[in-house]
Amino acid sequence: MSRILVFQHVAAEPLGTLDPLIRRRGHRVKFVNFERQPEAKPRLDRYKGLIVLGGPMNVEDRAQRAHLQTEIDVIGEAVAQGKPVLGICLGAQLLAHVLGGEVRRHRVSEIGWYDLATTDAGRGDPVFAPLGEASPIFQWHGYTFDLPAGATHLARTATCENQAFRHGTNAYGFQFHLEMDKPLIERWLNLPSYRDELIAAGLGRDAETIRADTFARIDAMQGKAHEVFNNFLDLIGTPARRRKLATT
């Protein structure tokens, strides 16, 4: 049975629309929820791939949150072993840190909907290409990262240069939240801590503005998200049992 290891930091930031795509392929998912199990010491050897989700903490919080160093160590193992890795938001920042990129507070937070512009490399990337030249993308972050040495720059926005990168052939970092759907966005908008962050960011938009933008843009993002995620899952492969069923 093919198994994927998933690092989750808070209940409010799950796999989202990526979850059913993984299960439809016949993979088993092992969640390590560091909010509930901060002392967990997951081992990578039983897993075919690693997905690291977002969260409200930051790479610089390692002294207060020892699990971040645990994650950094496992991400480093996955990269060294050539196993597929996908980092989303905080996960992308952790991956960038592992690869030597600086992670720091950005000059402006990005919360809500933004136009993502792909690079030439992004448009030709085997995972990222379905996003085309430009795509609407949902964001929620106040930190950014420098592009790690040797990494391929895949996308930017007008307010944040480094939105996505690939390292080697199997490791991807996405600063944005391609996994979102309407209920999950609504959940974030109703959480007091997230709502306070939106207000403090001073972006000139409120929850109602984001709701209206979501209604107008979510379908376009989700269609492309499914293609991107399926391309990433192709790197992990199809479980042997599922392959056998497909040929009988």
Q: What are phi and psi of 46, to 5 degrees?
A: -90, 0
Global pTM value: 0.95
Catalytic hit among 67, 71, 89, 160: 89
Q: Which residue type, as a one-letter code, is found at position 107?
A: R
What distance in Å separates the CA atoms of residue 193 and residue 42, rounded to the nearest whole number? 29
- Is 89 an active-site residue? yes
Architecture of domain 3-243: 3-Layer(aba) Sandwich (3.40)
160 is annotated as an active-site residue: no
**What is the helix, strand, coil percentage profile of the chain, to 5?**
40, 25, 35
Residue (of 70, 118, 120) closest to 94 by Cα position: 70
Reading the chain (248 residues) residue by residue, the pLDDT tens digits are 579 999 999 999 999 999 999 999 899 999 999 999 999 999 999 999 999 999 999 999 999 999 999 999 999 999 999 999 999 999 999 999 999 999 999 999 999 999 999 999 999 999 999 999 999 999 999 999 999 999 999 999 999 999 999 999 999 999 999 999 999 999 999 999 999 999 999 999 999 999 999 999 999 999 999 999 999 999 998 764 444 334 43
The length of the chain is 248
**Segment 167-210, tens digit of pLDDT:** 999 999 999 999 999 999 999 999 999 999 999 999 999 999 99
Q: Which listed residue (27, 67, 97, 177) is catalytic?
A: 177
CA proximity to 162, closest of 231, 89, 71, 73: 89
Q: How far is CA 116 from CA 125, 221, 244, in A?
A: 15, 11, 39
Domain locations along the chain: 3-243
